[in-house]
Structure 1
Amino acid sequence: MKLIHSHPYYKVVREIKNNEQNSTEVKETIDLYDSLIATASKQFPLKNVSDISYKPLSDSYGFLYLHTNQGVFTFMVKESPKAFIDEYLKLK
């Protein structure tokens, strides 16, 4: 399995301590391999991925959408994932 491209995404982890809610932004990567796409918590075989799309929402972030046979998975990104999407399209 060969790593082709990685792109950072961010998730917000909320936790309650001492009756206060604290939010922490955690940086993770979505990795494109020659046969699958992997995140910190899930793997998607490329045969199960039908499309990848991106919607910028502001100057500071947007959403990367991974369309699969299990539904659409959303990842918050701060930089354009154009290179990641272009590499994915080369494999299709």
Structure 2
Amino acid sequence: MNWIAKQSYYKIHRKVTSTEQMTVVNDRDMYLYEDKVMTQYQEFPIEDVFDMSYRNIGGEGGFLYLHTKQGVYPYTVRADPRVFIDSFKELK
């Protein structure tokens, strides 16, 4: 099955050792399908996703929120995810 929309997001991990602190940025993609929303490590059935929203933080990027049956999941994005959110709302 082909995806309907794709949204890039990223995850920041900080690794601290006794001598240094490293910041690792992992770029990932979220996919909207007819029956689910998939991230790198999670899959949400479409009937469990109630809504999506976006909050701009500063001048660049912000947070894409997935409002689900299990709770609200934030994803850090670099650009406005309006196309992804609109695709979800058309599907619902």
TM-score scaled by length of structure 1? 0.94
Letter in 2 for 1:3: W
Quick check: 1:42 aligned with 2:11? no
Count of matched residue pairs: 92
Quick check: 1:90 aligned with 2:78? no
Which residue in 2 is equivalent to 1:56? 56
- CA deviations on 1:44-82 (whole Å, 9 max, x unpaired) are 000000000000011112000000000000000010000
SS at match of 2:55: strand
SS at match of 1:83: helix
| Unaligned segments of structure 2, at least 5 residues | none
* Deviation (angstroms), 1:31: 0.5
TM-score scaled by length of structure 2? 0.94
CA distance in 1, matches of 2:17, 2:4: 40
Higher strand share: 1
| Unaligned segments of structure 1, at least 5 residues | none
* Deviation (angstroms), 1:18: 5.0
